[in-house]
């Protein structure tokens, strides 16, 4: 890409992110923070004390997006993402992926 086009594309991408993505992230993070605060039986997961499919489905976007989440604004969400990432099951699945692929585990898409 020619050097003089990069600032234009970067500006467009930033505008899209500000207008659409950040607003949606805030909505979803606020919802999830509330869900964790009101989890049944004072649970540590979205649906209570036990890990469920909902937690597993949320693990990838939260762990991947953890760097964009404001820790001061969403402390329960950050703690939840870290709990999922540090769980024995998550680490075992990462190890299995490394065994199968022969490459170090990396959540980022190539």
Instruction: Give residue-wise pLDDT tens across range 37-79.
Output: 999 988 889 999 999 999 999 998 999 888 889 999 999 999 9
User: Is the pLDDT confidence value at 100 over 70?
Assistant: yes
* 43 contacts 50 by C-beta, under 8 angstroms: yes
Query: Mean pLDDT throughout 85-104?
Result: 91
Q: Residue 15: its pLDDT value, please?
A: 85
Would you list the DSSP string of the chain? Answer: --TTTHHHHHHHHHHHIIIIIHHHHHHHHHHHHHHHHT-GGG-SBTTBSS--HHHHHHHHHHHHHGGGS-TTT-HHHHHHHHHHHTSHHHHHHHHHHHHHHSS----S--
Distance CA 81, CA 55 (A): 10
Place of tokens 């919802």: 31
């Amino acid at each position: 890409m020619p050097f003089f086009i990069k600032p234009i594309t970067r500006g467009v991408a930033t505008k899209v992110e500000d207008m659409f993505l950040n607003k949606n992230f805030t909505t979803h993070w606020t919802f999830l923070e509330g869900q964790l605060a009101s989890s049944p039986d004072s649970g540590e997961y979205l649906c209570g004390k036990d890990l469920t499919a909902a937690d597993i489905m949320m693990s990838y976007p939260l762990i991947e997006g953890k760097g964009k989440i404001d820790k001061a604004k969403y402390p329960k969400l950050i703690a939840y993402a870290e709990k999922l990432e540090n769980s024995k099951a998550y680490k075992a699945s990462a190890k299995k992926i490394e065994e199968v692929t022969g490459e170090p585990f990396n959540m980022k898409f190539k």
